[in-house]
Amino acid sequence: MRIRDTGDLWWKNAVVYCLDVETYMDWNDDGVGDLPGLVQRLDHLADLGVTCLWLMPFYPTADRDDGYDITDFFGVDPRLGDAGDLVELIRTAKDRGIRVIADLVVNHTSDRHPWFKAARSSPDNPFRDFYVWRTEEPPPTADEVIFPDQEQGIWTYDEQAGAWYRHRFYRHQPDLNTANPQVRDAIAKVVGYWAELGLAGFRVDAVPFMLADAANSPHDDIEHPHEFLKALRSFLSRRTGDAILMGEVNLPYEEQRMFFGDQDGDGSAEGDELNLQFDFVAMQQMYLSLARQDAGALAQALRDRPHIPHDAQWATFVRNHDELTLDKLSDDERAEVFAAFGPDEDMQLYGRGLRRRLPPMLDGDPRRVRMVYSLLFTLPGTPVLFYGEEIGMGENLAADGRLAVRTPMQWTSGRNGGFSAAAPRRLAGPVVEGGFAPQHVNVADQRRDPDSLLSFVKTLVRRYRECPELGWAERAEILDQPHAAVLAHRSTWQDASMIAVHNLGPEAVTVPLRLRDLVREPGDAGPADGTATTRSAAGDDEPVRLVDLLEDGACEVDPDGRVEVELPAYGYRWLRVVRPGSRRLL
């Protein structure tokens, strides 16, 4: 493996940025964000260091689920622009060094989609089998509902069809029947269409649900549900060699590995399904660690990560566009996180998650906010930012459900945060109010402030991109040290190695570390391959240093491999291991 391979497998050390066009920038001032507005803000993303832009659904929609109820997989919502505007976005982003991917939402459609309208018209209609039906009344299914505040079961009777149709999400989103090869062909056609227009891949929504019906028919041409995902990945790779599938698979680690295409779990296989999967387990354990001010839960999650194929990757995140799910925690653990970060019932959602952004959860404490984002960028994997995180946006709990965190982007301190000149009542969503309102949190002010959160996140992005070990390390090595509040971990790839130390607690600490591979014995020489180790090629008795990548300073490692690292309350250090003779830039 060579440094040039980081360009071939670009997703392994990318910086992904997720946004909803509808709430990002309104260029025609009708109150709804649009593609021309997003094009005007691409330089903000380029300046931030983003390398991959993830677009939430931009397709025509009935707009009952913020765009995830799609009525045409081959179109662009006319409120946002047209296909020409999307092509201009992709072209301009490419010029700025940014790839564009989009949500692929094919586990269901809107009930207003032409396929469903045709399917319900007659049992003999060719589109009938595009969906999942039953003619007998179903048993109670309240325990299978995804949104328990909205639905009482996953089957709804349709008068026109004279049958019940299944919907694992909302009743206005009937499930597509992926047991039908024609449905799978239609999905491939959607993927091929957008790839031809220039998309670099897709974030695949609710992957386990998408696969649930595949291979269920006795006349199917596949024998296992994962054959569908393998075929989709193969098809996309043939059409666009370096395009990716980044999947939402909120399952335990042992089940997640199968979605990379690694059936035996040894991590040695070539991944032939999803390129990336979101690490929901580590995210939830991180919030438990933050609530306890004890790094143990996150450290254990990192130890528990399974080996994955070398060209696969974890997508790490602090916040995404949905509720901050805590479903992998026990009831008691979830109660701890609720008590720390969302004690009011209005801050919680579905009894399993939070509808808040990070800065308000941490009471706006800039030390803690910066520590968490520093931690994000040091976790082995590909970091994913949700729009507004780079400036520390808050939520608006007056908005319904998950829309609390999907408020208009805050560009300036002016009206509507500079998102739109339209009247507030016409906006796609309510602007954040209070201490996190645009008057206090916006891009324009932070661009000119070298001490702002935006400037800090830019530094994190740049340093992450300069440290291939953060994306390419097989796993994090958790370093022993005596402080429960501290996470010390090391990422190594080839001759690049970095130690990250984060203090989740309110007390300053001195962290002693023992790095056994850095022990210097008298007369040590470099290895046979010529790679510099603890001594230079000339045999100079120079110490190994840990050079701070976020600020000036370094620590010397003593001959016994020991070093002490000073951390203030909620402090953090990125320490590059610099051996004598190292030629890496710092």
- Active-site residues, by number, are 205, 248
Tell me the CA distances in angstroms from 56 to 79, 86, 105, 246, one per residue in order: 14, 13, 10, 13
CB 60 within 8 A of CB 71: yes
For residue 457 the two structure tokens come to 């996140």
Task: Give the alpha-carbon dihedral of 467, 249, 228, 180, to 10 degrees.
Answer: -150
Sheet holding 155-158, edge to edge: 133-134, 163-166, 155-158
For residue 469 the two structure tokens come to 């070990």
For residue 109, give every residue at least 6 positions away whose Cβ sits within 8 Å of its Cβ, in sequence order, or none. 69, 70, 71, 115, 116, 173, 174, 176
CB 58 within 8 A of CB 19: no
Residue 485 CA neighbour count, 13 Å, CB half? 19
CB 392 within 8 A of CB 453: yes
Partner residues linked to 497 by β-bridges: 492
75: enclosing H helix or E strand: none
Burial (CB < 10 A; 0-12, 13-18, 19+), residue 125, is middle
The closest alpha carbon to 574, from 586, 582, 584, belongs to 586
